[in-house]
């Protein structure tokens, strides 16, 4: 398997599992795949963060409002990998409860990744709700 295939496998397994857990109320897996090195940033649909500390706080707050994720999918539009950097662009389709109320929504998500010690880590996320 080449680097591009390994990266895509990681996106569709570890990354997707961490995102689903976030929308099910558990931010631990998402924090685990994010870089511990600065800079990191989020321009999110609900919260922004521009440091690791702000990122952890944002994930904790978000996970506390989500539960009962019944569906999560990531429809990849495009990606590229150049050396130890990569990015993805796609649609996240989610069905989960938000503040106890069932919702289904789609997010446009662009993420940037950095390979650190041989492992992919998220370093930036920009997401917003579709219509």
Provide the pLDDT for residue 131. 76
Side-chain half-sphere CA neighbours of 98 within 13 A: 9
Q: How far is residue 7 CA from its own chain's centroid?
A: 14
Q: What is the residue extent of each domain of the chain? A: 3-129
Q: What 3-state class would DSSP assign to 30?
A: helix
Provide the pLDDT for residue 89. 98
Q: How far is residue 90 CA from its own chain's centroid?
A: 11
98-126 average pLDDT score: 97
CATH classification of 3-129, choosing from 3.90.1150.10, 3.40.980.10, 1.10.1040.10, 3.10.450.50?
3.10.450.50
- In the block, tokens 């409002």 appear at 65
Summarize pLDDT for 15-24 with one digit per residue, the tens: 999 999 999 9
| C-alpha to C-alpha distances, 3 to 76, 80, 83, 85, nearest whole angstrom | 17, 11, 9, 11
Indicate if the pLDDT at residue 119 is higher than 80: yes
Number of C-beta neighbours around residue 100 at 10 A: 8
Q: What 3-state class would DSSP assign to 27?
A: coil
How many residues are given for the chain? 131
Provide the pLDDT for residue 46. 81
What does pTM read for this prediction?
Answer: 0.94
């Amino acid at each position: 398997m080449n680097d591009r295939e390994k990266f895509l496998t990681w996106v569709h397994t570890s990354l997707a599992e961490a995102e689903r857990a976030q929308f099910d109320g558990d931010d631990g897996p998402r924090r685990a795949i994010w870089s511990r090195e600065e800079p990191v940033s989020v321009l999110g649909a609900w919260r922004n963060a521009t440091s690791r500390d702000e990122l952890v706080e944002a994930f904790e707050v978000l996970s506390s409002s989500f539960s009962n994720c019944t569906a999560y999918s990531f429809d990849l539009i495009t990606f590229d990998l150049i050396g130890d950097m990569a990015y993805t662009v796609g649609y996240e389709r989610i069905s989960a409860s938000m503040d106890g109320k069932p919702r289904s929504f789609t997010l446009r998500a662009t993420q940037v990744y950095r390979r650190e010690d041989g492992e992919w880590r998220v370093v930036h996320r920009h997401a917003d709700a579709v219509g």
